[in-house]
A and B are shown apart, each in its own frame.
Chain A
């Protein structure tokens, strides 16, 4: 049997709208760490945390917090849009997202989410 690394990680690379885009997903017991980058760097670091008290509503609420980098409204929108499905699929685990995009157009969103899906570690 092949030796399994202690920390589970998967990565992919794809050219999106002419820009080389990389995704690295890493699993921790209390976080899913995702790097989504077109610069090869972590860039803006955002935490996406599901709110604890949401059992009575069908759609859970998420709190986004910019831990490092420029705190812009669009960053929160983007992070929530990209990371919500990961958190839900990972048993409501918080997501730590490193976001460094040259092209933040909404049209690319689905492609980027599909890239993350292909790196499922949860």
Chain B
């Protein structure tokens, strides 16, 4: 085991939690995004009104190339938060919490939302 100054190197340093907000008009409605950067992951909320109706969490598994994901809050028949969290973990290799609070009937909107998130990740990689 690798030890440095008596501290176990496996223990990651605790970073300051950073908060990042942005919004975008998508399909005639303003969609708000709220990101909380955590150590080894991030929390992402998406919505048009300030409600927290679901929460999914996703992380990588060494047994599967596809990240694992589960819904910890909300209606499990709605798979959007789960799949979004899963795809963001796939991209970032991080633990991702996602709360998706938009109508899920419109799959075009879901796609636009995900593209907007990806764009923000490219613009501000340090915020995620």
Which residues of A pack against B, CB within 8 Å? 5-9, 11, 13, 20, 22, 24, 26-31, 33, 35, 37-42, 45, 47, 67-68, 96
Docked Cα-Cα span, A42 to B43, in Å, equals 9
CB distance from A112 to the nearest CB of B (A): 15
**The one of A5, A40, A42, A96 that contacts B73, using a Cβ cutoff of 8 Å:** A96
**Contact A24-B36, Cβ < 8 Å, known A6-B21, A29-B50, A40-B17:** yes
In the complex, the answer to whether A13 meets B52 with C-beta atoms within 8 Å is no
Q: Is B64 an interface residue (CB 8 A)?
A: no
Q: Is B116 an interface residue (CB 8 A)?
A: no
Please give me the residue from chain A that is nearest to B45 by CB atom. A7
- Give me the 5 closest cross-chain CB pairs, A-B, nearest first: A40-B39, A28-B52, A40-B14, A6-B32, A5-B21
Please give me the residue from chain B that is nearest to A23 by CB atom. B17
In the complex, the answer to whether A35 meets B17 with C-beta atoms within 8 Å is yes
**Contact A47-B53, Cβ < 8 Å, known A20-B14, A24-B17, A35-B17:** no
**Contact A13-B16, Cβ < 8 Å, known A30-B52, A96-B52:** yes
In the complex, the answer to whether B34 meets A6 with C-beta atoms within 8 Å is yes
**Interface band, chain B:** 20 to 34
Pick 26 A–B contacts, CB within 8 A, sort by A.
A5-B34, A6-B21, A6-B34, A7-B32, A7-B34, A7-B45, A9-B36, A11-B19, A20-B14, A24-B17, A24-B19, A24-B36, A26-B34, A26-B36, A28-B50, A29-B50, A30-B51, A30-B53, A38-B14, A39-B14, A40-B14, A40-B15, A41-B39, A45-B72, A67-B73, A96-B73
The residues of A that contact B41 with a CB separation of less than 8 Å are 41-42
Number of A-B contacts (CB under 8 A): 74
The residues of B that contact A20 with a CB separation of less than 8 Å are 14
Interface members, chain B 64-88 (any A CB < 8 Å): 72-73
Docked Cα-Cα span, A79 to B68, in Å, equals 27
Please give me the residue from chain B that is nearest to A3 by CB atom. B21
CB distance from A22 to the nearest CB of B (A): 5
Docked Cα-Cα span, A40 to B18, in Å, equals 10
**Contact A41-B51, Cβ < 8 Å, known A7-B21, A11-B17, A22-B17:** no
